[in-house]
Amino acid sequence: MNPKPPQLSTWARNVAPSPTLAIDTKAKALMAAGEDVCSFAAGEPDFDTPEHIKEAAVAALKAGKTKYAPTPGIDPLRKAIADSYAATYGLKVAPSQVVVSPGGKFSCYLAMLAVCSPGDEVLIPAPYWVSYPEMAKLAGATPRYVLADDSTGFRLNAAQLEAAITPKTKLLVLNSPSNPTGAVYTRSEVEAIMAVAQRHGLYVLSDEIYEHLIYDGVKAVGPATLSREAEERTIIVSGFSKTYSMTGWRLGTLVAAPAVAKAVSELQSQMSSNATTFAQYGALAALQQPDKTKVALEAMLAAFDRRRKLLHSELNRIPRMSCLLAQGAFYLFPNISRFGLPSQEFCARLLESEKVAAVNGSAFGAEGYMRLSYATSDAIIAKGVERLRRFCAGLAGS
Ligand SMILES: Cc1ncc(COP(=O)(O)O)c(C=O)c1O
């Protein structure tokens, strides 16, 4: 008898590995091999975690905070998160509605698992963060996309949403400020979208992980802040990775109506247990020492803002390229459609010939664009843009 070799699951065979992490890994491998790479692929701040946060985690380690903690997070951190929603957004949140997870990515996945059943549809505005479709699929649901391109500032409008809803739609994903476009929805846009979500009884996953990385005096408006009803249907995800340069710490947050928060915590109790205990004490310091945190955040924001403007103006000087000035996160999403190449080929050739790493728009559900992260030094931006300009000029004749 010759038994068939065992097969991987449908989950494993159907999941698409993260293209952003793949390109970042490739760029880092080229650098390790001695290549002079200009990488615009990173999805993380190029700053170290502020000192007071690191010190608090070290102190917690030394004090023996090395054991299991309550699944949804240590009590003082859940309370501090609830308090910060009240102080920042006027949202009255009980600590029991807060779940701390090993990363915002995991928080998003748990949110989908908590509200989606097989057969449900998850509505995802494109360009989207690469993980949403895969998470929806892993929850047994079907991702559906609505394209909001640069003609509408990469922001979905209520009419587009209305037209995309079916009887199976269960969840709408909103991500403002957005990865990959940096777009920030206005209050009236969020109001119009939430009115539609309300009418159709949808849950809304509001991924606000870039909530504090925002420029030009713009304020992000979270859907949960609009009304009591909006708050009840919204699952807010955020985390410590981007705002506090804590990507490696793996700490995400989720705030939701009591029943949803309880479901998320119960799912987490079987999937990961608590987020790393001593890391949570570091996060607590970020919230409990706001003056020090503010200094670090403002320095980072000033650098990002300068680079944002620099990269934006340089990209728009390249013939046939056009780029909107994003108001949040640390990405720009220029339109490269006039070069006539699929974005994947454009980015592969750019890396091959000029050693410039960028992520193709098709990875985010938007052909004809690419994502550039400006979470990198001014010097890399200047050098990378020069190479990009040369690459584009070379394409002119091809
Ligand atoms: C839109 C968006 N949401 C969530 C995350 C998750 O971040 P983390 O898992 O590091 O907290 C990211 C990270 O790239 C992101 O870009």
SS3 readout for 14-37: HCCCCHHHHHHHHHHHHHHCCCCC
Ligand 1 atom 7: residue of nearest CA: 104
Q: For 10-47, what is each residue's pLDDT tens digit?
A: 999 988 878 888 888 888 899 999 999 999 998 889 99
Residue ending a domain, among 288, 303, 327, is 288
Candidates 330, 335, 332, 334; CA nearest to 376 is 330
Strands 331-332 and 98-101, bridge-based pairing: unpaired
326: in domain: yes
Residues 105 and 234 reside in one and the same domain: yes
Q: Is the peptide bond before 258 cis (omega within 30 degrees of 0)?
A: no
Measured in Å, residue 312 CA sits from the centre of ligand 1 at 23
Distance between start and end Cα atoms, the chain: 57
Contacts of 337 (CB under 8 A, 6+ apart): 367, 368, 369
Identify the H or E element spanning 87: helix 75-89
CB of 129 sitting under 6 A from ligand 1: yes
Distance CA 323, CA 325 (A): 7
Contacts of 145 (CB under 8 A, 6+ apart): 123, 124, 125, 126, 128, 133, 365
Distance CA 197, CA 189 (A): 12
Strand ranges of the sheet holding 331-332, from the earlier edge strand across to the other edge: 331-332, 370-373, 359-360
> What's the confidence (pLDDT) of residue 43?
87
261: in domain: yes
Measured in Å, residue 263 CA sits from the centre of ligand 1 at 21
Residues 308 and 392 reside in one and the same domain: yes
> What's the confidence (pLDDT) of residue 328?
98
Using CA atoms of 241, 39, 372, 342 in order, give the dihedral in degrees to the nearest 10: -130
Residue ending a domain, among 268, 288, 308, is 288
Residues 277 and 321 reside in one and the same domain: no
277: in domain: yes
Query: Residue 302 sits in a domain of what CATH number?
Result: 3.90.1150.10
Task: Report the number of distinct structural domains present in the chain.
Answer: 2
The preferred substitution site among 241, 276, 330, 364 for testing ligand 1, maximizing ligand atoms within 8 Å of CB, is: 241
Identify the H or E element spanning 316: helix 290-316
DSSP state of 5: P
Residues 155 and 267 reside in one and the same domain: yes
- What stretches of the chain adopt beta strand conformation (E)? 38-39, 98-101, 121-126, 142-147, 169-175, 203-207, 234-239, 252-255, 331-332, 356-357, 359-360, 370-373
Candidates 123, 79, 93; CA nearest to 222 is 93
54: in domain: no
Residues 271 and 353 reside in one and the same domain: no
Residues 277 and 302 reside in one and the same domain: no
Distance CA 209, CA 246 (A): 12
Residues 121 and 233 reside in one and the same domain: yes
Ligand 1 atom 1: residue of nearest CA: 179
314: in domain: yes
CB of 206 sitting under 6 A from ligand 1: no
The per-residue pLDDT string of the chain (398 residues; one tens digit each, 9 = 90 and over) reads: 677 889 999 999 988 878 888 888 888 899 999 999 999 998 889 999 999 999 999 999 999 999 999 999 999 999 999 999 999 999 999 999 999 999 999 999 999 999 999 999 999 999 999 999 999 999 999 999 999 999 999 999 999 999 999 999 999 999 999 999 999 999 999 999 999 999 999 999 999 999 999 999 999 999 999 999 999 999 999 999 999 999 999 999 999 999 999 999 999 999 999 999 999 999 999 999 999 999 999 999 999 999 999 999 999 999 999 999 999 999 999 999 999 999 999 999 999 999 999 999 999 999 999 999 999 999 999 999 999 999 999 996 55
CB of 252 sitting under 6 A from ligand 1: yes
298: in domain: yes
Residues 15 and 104 reside in one and the same domain: no
> What's the confidence (pLDDT) of residue 373?
97
CB 249 within 8 A of CB 50: no
Residue ending a domain, among 288, 305, 332, is 288
Residues 283 and 300 reside in one and the same domain: no
| Cβ atoms < 10 Å from Cβ of 166 | 10
Residues 143 and 280 reside in one and the same domain: yes
Looking up tokens 């449900």 gives 120
1: in domain: no
Give the global pTM. 0.96
> What's the confidence (pLDDT) of residue 26?
86
Domain span at 227: 67-288
Residues 84 and 139 reside in one and the same domain: yes
Distance CA 196, CA 202 (A): 9
CB of 239 sitting under 6 A from ligand 1: yes
Ligand 1 atom 14: residue of nearest CA: 43
DSSP state of 339: G
Measured in Å, residue 209 CA sits from the centre of ligand 1 at 6
Tell me how far CA of residue 136 lies from CA of 13, 20, 132, 265, in angstroms: 15, 18, 6, 19
Residues 214 and 75 reside in one and the same domain: yes
Contacts of 73 (CB under 8 A, 6+ apart): 81, 98, 99, 100, 274, 275, 280
53: in domain: no
DSSP state of 63: T
* SS3 per-residue string spanning 198-265: HHCCCEEEEECCCCCCECCCCCCCCHHHCCHHHHHHEEEEEECCCCCCCHHHCCEEEECCHHHHHHHH
Query: Residue 171 sits in a domain of what CATH number?
Result: 3.40.640.10
